[in-house]
Amino acid sequence: SAVISQKPSRDICQRGTSLTIQCQVDSQVTMMFWYRQQPGQSLTLIATANQGSEATYESGFVIDKFPISRPNLTFSTLTVSNMSPEDSSIYLCSGTIGSAGGAWAGELFFGEGSRLTVL
């Protein structure tokens, strides 16, 4: 299993500013993902954080708005740039572990989320 820690857990930000969320995993995970959960909504995948290379973004999300880094197997950051009130959401980091045989171990672990409020 994996324990995922996120910082900050919550923040209140001003319009036009940027905020970086950190995600630390206590073990090496195969893949890391960033999800967004808007108020009262389900989770939407923002991107896959790739180690040492550019993240892979889902439709509707772009690198200029949500730059992501993943320098190693246990750490990633998501920046929410030039924030507007529409960016007020919970941002969740997640990771998955592959088994020794190469197959997916079949669980996506989640951090507790970073709740951003943009005024």
What is the spatial distance between Cα 61 and Cα 26, in angstroms, rounded to a whole number? 28
* Least distance CB 50 / another protein (angstroms): 13
Out of 2, 23, 33, 77, point to the residue binding another protein (CB under 8 A).
33
Q: Does 73 bind another protein (CB under 8 A)?
A: no
- Of 76, 82, 64, the C-alpha closest to 35 is 76
* Least distance CB 107 / another protein (angstroms): 5
H helices present in the chain, as ranges: none
* Least distance CB 113 / another protein (angstroms): 6
Q: For residue 83, what are its two tokens?
A: 């924030």
What is the spatial distance between Cα 105 and Cα 76, in angstroms, rounded to a whole number? 21
Residues engaged in binding another protein (CB under 8 A): 4, 30-31, 33, 41-45, 48, 92, 94, 96, 98, 102-104, 106-113
